[in-house]
Amino acid sequence: DAGVIQSPRHEVTEMGQEVTLRCKPISGHNSLFWYRQTMMRGLELLIYFNNNVPIDDSGMPEDRFSAKMPNASFSTLKIQPSEPRDSAVYFCASSQTGNTEAFFGQGTRLTVV
Amino acid sequence: AQSVTQLGSHVSVSEGALVLLRCNYSSSVPPYLFWYVQYPNQGLQLLLKYTTGATLVKGINGFEAEFKKSETSFHLTKPSAHMSDAAEYFCAVREYSSASKIIFGSGTRLSIRP
């Protein structure tokens, strides 16, 4: 299996632009997590899905952030409009019912200038 | 609510010395517990996990951790540090359900002195 696939690996955008991060979970996994990692705040859970349904989005920082999971093999995290303080590494992870751990993608490094 | 506390944001040990990274958790129900490792510019990789049963769990690269319910701890150890162990280590907790969220500690950066 190719593991969790995130794209792009790096994104540089100007303040005010829309940014879309993409994630393909491991086939057969039914839970998907979006995390944000920064030096100041560490690894924060933004939102997670079970069976394509958002379960807990309490970590989404504000209305500029939105996440979707239209099917079991694809999820997006959108920031609109982006701000410099959104600069971070964004990770997607997935897990499977019956297993306990999550498997992480390589992350997307977002820089907003 | 679940939470994880990792004591020490940075730990430095000599090569060959004991590695001890501390983790305490809080959870309203018996949790699943994990240690992950992150190398520079990479994602997180599972080192080991505790679910049920034996409280001493062994992981990859010679690491092990012991679940102590009375102390709500899950400390990570390795008898002899190697230069390749230098990385960031994260403790994580998940409530006793494979459909629940996973909460991570703030991480501990491990440095190895030659």
Mean pLDDT of A29-54: 94
- Closest residue in B to A105 (Cα–Cα): B43
Q: Is B60 on the interface with A (CB under 8 A)?
A: no
With cut-offs at 50, 70 and 90, classify the pLDDT of residue A20.
very high
**Residues 94-113 (A) with a CB less than 8 A from some CB of B:** 95-107
- Closest residue in B to A50 (Cα–Cα): B99
Structure-token pair, residue A68: 């979707």
Q: Is A42 on the interface with B (CB under 8 A)?
A: yes
- Please write down the long-range contacts of A38-43, taking CB distance under 8 Å and 24 or more positions apart: A38/A87, A38/A88, A38/A89, A42/B104, A42/B105, A42/B106, A42/B107, A43/A91, A43/B44, A43/B90, A43/B104, A43/B106, A43/B107
Over the stretch A85-110, which tens digit does the pLDDT of each residue have? 999 999 999 998 767 899 999 999 99
Per-residue pLDDT at A1 exceeds 70? no
Contacts of A26 in chain B (CB under 8 A): none
Cβ-defined contact of A105 to B102 (cutoff 8 Å): no
pLDDT tens for chain B, 114 residues: list them: 788 999 999 999 999 999 999 999 987 777 899 999 999 888 999 999 998 888 899 999 999 999 998 899 999 999 999 999 999 999 999 877 657 889 999 999 999 999
